Chain A
Amino acid sequence: MVRFILSKLLFLIPTFLGITIIAFGFVRILPGDPVLLMAGERGVTPERHAELSAQLGFDRPLVMQYLEFLNRLFHGDLGNSLVTKKPVLTEFLALFPATVELALFAIIIATVIGVPVGVLAAIKRGSWFDQVSMTAALVGFSMPIFWWGLLLIIFFSGILGWTPVSGRIDLLYYFPDATGFMLIDSLMSGQEGAFTSAVSHLILPSVVLATIPLAVIARQTRSAMLEVMGEDYVRTARAKGMPQRRVIGVHALRNAMIPVVTTIGLQIGVLMAGAILTETIFSWPGIGKWMIDSISRRDYPVVQSGLLLIAGMVMVVNLLVDLTYGLINPRIRAS
């Protein structure tokens, strides 16, 4: 197992270096002069330009600049935002919990609904439940979630008036963020109604974000179950006279879960892309909205480092999925 983990970790190094090269190269292939870009509309004198260039290291060879970039990266220095002047890492860490909270809720919704639906559809293959749920899954899979979010706002916020349109909590409530997770903070604040307010803000965005993963998980669970249920050991269990519930619960489900766990893990990339759209629609103050705002404000240090951080995160999650996979399936470890 140790060798398996080590080999996976070693494999990560070139990928990570590649990601840094892409993030680094990004600012350099931008049309125009990065110094002028940072100086803004006022412009700079030629002397000041040279001084800034030297200060930022743009006058040195690209390779040296890249090594410097890497060096700073390993010391936790990701540069400062052009707009707020604050360190990018500080901003990222402040907004990150909001996205994690949203994504976590979404993946819980997707798993809790998707897995049972997929299992049931497989058991009752060809039934009306199977047909309806798989049609729904295909619709969900084809859904433009930015539109879906707007529709839910029209219905639940506009017509029914059940949920708020945007944000994480009512402006009525104020408390310092201890953890950054609104649900926990609002509970800890002890203010009446704060927790309910946080939940009602979270519900629509997480449903929207959950839509595509839910569809993917339901479809994947169904096909994994169908495959496993055709296996000899399931037939043997049946032939032994084992009750249906035990055959499905113990023999089939556990084996079918292996690809499903991978699918769930791999949804993290989908969630990050979805977070950009979902957070924009619901004005959710997370890293997705932060990225899109920075792109439209041409705040390149933020875009560069944000890209790096998000890709790094996806990479780490994928590694964890790989490791879990190895843990539950010894055959993978051996190969």
Chain B
Amino acid sequence: MSDTTVKLSDAAIRRRMLAEFWFYFSQNRGAVAGLVVFALLVVVAIFAPLLAPHGAATQYRDALLLPPVWQEGGNSRFLLGTDAVGRDMLSRLIYGAQYSLFIGIVVVSIALVGGIIIGLVAGFFRGWVDAIIMRVMDLILAFPSLLLALVLVAVLGPGLTNAMIAIAIVYQPHFARLTRAAVMGEMEREYVTAARVAGAGNMRLMFKTILPNCLAPLIVQATLSFSSAVLDSAALGFLGMGAQPPTPEWGTMLAEAREFILRAWWVVTFPGLAILTSVLAINLMGDGLRDALDPKLKRS
């Protein structure tokens, strides 16, 4: 190292980190494709009222179970056809994007914040606090996640809010364990000792000194949980325990469409395709994020 080292401002460092991140992320073509699809989904969700040709709950009694426009009997007013009570499929799918994104954001936020706090406390204080917290986390992980979420919803009462809370509770141990492991790794480092010697309190040490250095695995886990949340909430909706009809949530739409599977393929096919596309896009992004954020992991 020469002594002509250029001093970079914080903003410049951040810009460089971002550029480096983007370099690795963009090397993964799948990840970029996932990002594009996800961005589209966000745009669709935000501008749903402008994009949707019809209302999500508007029923056209003269157009029950119309097939998509390219099939015989289709109508150009309803591009993807209509459902059993004459609602436009395309419009309902567009509004459904709002629900899926909303569910993903809420579930991941609750699970992330809860998991970080619990994991930080366990990893920072160790001893009996850690032992108790981790036993409880292991316990939650001992149950199949969908089953536990189902039972929690049964206790809380069916509905979208309760479904989101239940899924967040079930996901939260993953974040707690990751945070704890990362914190334990960082606690050994000299900068933590230095900060402690400099007189930093526990709160400052936990949240300002250690936490920012543990974020990479948490971001990857958050992405993966986002896609699982979309999938699990759709499953709960499908089982009648999540969002209730006539909400245009994709899983709930599938549940309503079940009895028509052999008569009207489009009412079943499109909502599922929407779920698959969004989950796949988010998972692709997650793979790219892992590659870009964790250089230790092999790019395989």
Task: Give the docked Cα–Cα distance between A255 and B157 (Å).
Answer: 48
- A144 near B: Cβ within 8 Å? yes
Chain B residues 256 to 298 lying within 8 A of chain A, measured CB to CB, are: 258, 261-262, 265, 268-269, 271-272, 275-276, 279-280, 283-284, 287, 298
Contact B272 A276 (CB under 8 A): no
Shortest CB-to-CB span from A62 to chain B, Å, is: 17
Contact A142 B151 (CB under 8 A): no
Shortest CB-to-CB span from B83 to chain A, Å, is: 15
Contact B298 A226 (CB under 8 A): yes
B-chain residues with CB within 8 Å of residue A226 when the two chains form the complex: 298, 300
Q: Which residue of A lies closest to B135 (CB)?
A: A14
Task: Give the docked Cα–Cα distance between A276 and B91 (Å).
Answer: 30
Shortest CB-to-CB span from A234 to chain B, Å, is: 16
B-chain residues with CB within 8 Å of residue A311 when the two chains form the complex: 142-144
- A315 near B: Cβ within 8 Å? yes
- A138 near B: Cβ within 8 Å? yes
Interface string of A146-161 (1 = CB under 8 A from B): 1110110110011000
Interface segment, one of B9-17, B116-124, B187-195, B238-246 = B238-246
Task: Give the docked Cα–Cα distance between A150 and B275 (Å).
Answer: 14
A-chain residues with CB within 8 Å of residue B298 when the two chains form the complex: 223, 226-227
A-chain residues with CB within 8 Å of residue B279 when the two chains form the complex: 142-144
Interface string of B146-165 (1 = CB under 8 A from A): 11101100110100000000
Chain A residues 265 to 307 lying within 8 A of chain B, measured CB to CB, are: 269-270, 272-273, 276-277, 280, 291-292, 295-296, 298, 303, 307
Q: Which residue of A lies closest to B271 (CB)?
A: A147
A-chain residues with CB within 8 Å of residue B254 when the two chains form the complex: 144, 146-147, 150
Interface segment, one of B46-54, B55-63, B227-235 = B227-235
B-chain residues with CB within 8 Å of residue A273 when the two chains form the complex: 144-147
A-chain residues with CB within 8 Å of residue B276 when the two chains form the complex: 139, 142-144, 147
Q: Which residue of B lies closest to A27 (CB)?
A: B155
- A52 near B: Cβ within 8 Å? no
Most buried by A among B148, B235, B254: B235
- B138 near A: Cβ within 8 Å? yes
- A222 near B: Cβ within 8 Å? yes
B-chain residues with CB within 8 Å of residue A29 when the two chains form the complex: 155
Task: Give the docked Cα–Cα distance between A141 and B269 (Å).
Answer: 18
- B139 near A: Cβ within 8 Å? yes
Q: Which residue of B lies closest to A131 (CB)?
A: B30
Task: Give the docked Cα–Cα distance between A29 and B155 (Å).
Answer: 8
Interface size class of B (residues with CB under 8 A): 35 or more
Task: Give the docked Cα–Cα distance between A318 and B268 (Å).
Answer: 36
Task: Give the docked Cα–Cα distance between A272 and B136 (Å).
Answer: 21
Contact A154 B261 (CB under 8 A): yes
A272 touches which one: B144, B155, B157 (CB < 8 A)?
Answer: B144
B-chain residues with CB within 8 Å of residue A14 when the two chains form the complex: 135
Most buried by A among B136, B145, B148, B261: B261
Contact B280 A18 (CB under 8 A): no
Task: Give the docked Cα–Cα distance between A142 and B273 (Å).
Answer: 11
Shortest CB-to-CB span from A49 to chain B, Å, is: 22
A303 touches which one: B151, B239, B251, B284 (CB < 8 A)?
Answer: B151
B-chain residues with CB within 8 Å of residue A154 when the two chains form the complex: 261-262, 265, 268-269
Q: Which residue of A lies closest to B152 (CB)?
A: A26
- A239 near B: Cβ within 8 Å? no
Contact B139 A15 (CB under 8 A): yes
A-chain residues with CB within 8 Å of residue B154 when the two chains form the complex: 295, 298, 303
Shortest CB-to-CB span from B66 to chain A, Å, is: 18
A-chain residues with CB within 8 Å of residue B136 when the two chains form the complex: 18
A-chain residues with CB within 8 Å of residue B234 when the two chains form the complex: 144, 146
B139 touches which one: A18, A222, A277, A280 (CB < 8 A)?
Answer: A18
Contact B300 A147 (CB under 8 A): no
B283 touches which one: A19, A138, A269 (CB < 8 A)?
Answer: A138
A-chain residues with CB within 8 Å of residue B157 when the two chains form the complex: 31
Contact B241 A139 (CB under 8 A): no
B-chain residues with CB within 8 Å of residue A223 when the two chains form the complex: 298, 300
A-chain residues with CB within 8 Å of residue B235 when the two chains form the complex: 144, 146, 277
A-chain residues with CB within 8 Å of residue B30 when the two chains form the complex: 135, 138
Known: A153-B261, A307-B143. A138 touches B280 (CB 8 A): yes
Q: Which residue of A lies closest to B268 (CB)?
A: A150
Shortest CB-to-CB span from B172 to chain A, Å, is: 15
- A30 near B: Cβ within 8 Å? yes
B-chain residues with CB within 8 Å of residue A153 when the two chains form the complex: 261-262
Shortest CB-to-CB span from A317 to chain B, Å, is: 11
Contact B138 A291 (CB under 8 A): no
- A314 near B: Cβ within 8 Å? yes
B-chain residues with CB within 8 Å of residue A150 when the two chains form the complex: 254, 258, 261, 268, 272
Interface of B toward A, CB cutoff 8 Å: 30, 135-136, 138-139, 142-148, 150-151, 154-155, 157, 227, 231, 234-235, 238-241, 251, 254, 258, 261-262, 265, 268-269, 271-272, 275-276, 279-280, 283-284, 287, 298, 300
List the 3 shortest-distance A-B pairs measured between CB atoms, nearest first: A147-B272, A273-B146, A142-B279
Sampled A-B contacts (19; CB under 8 Å): A15-B135, A15-B142, A22-B139, A22-B143, A26-B155, A29-B155, A144-B251, A144-B279, A146-B254, A147-B254, A147-B268, A148-B272, A151-B268, A151-B272, A154-B268, A226-B300, A269-B145, A292-B150, A303-B151
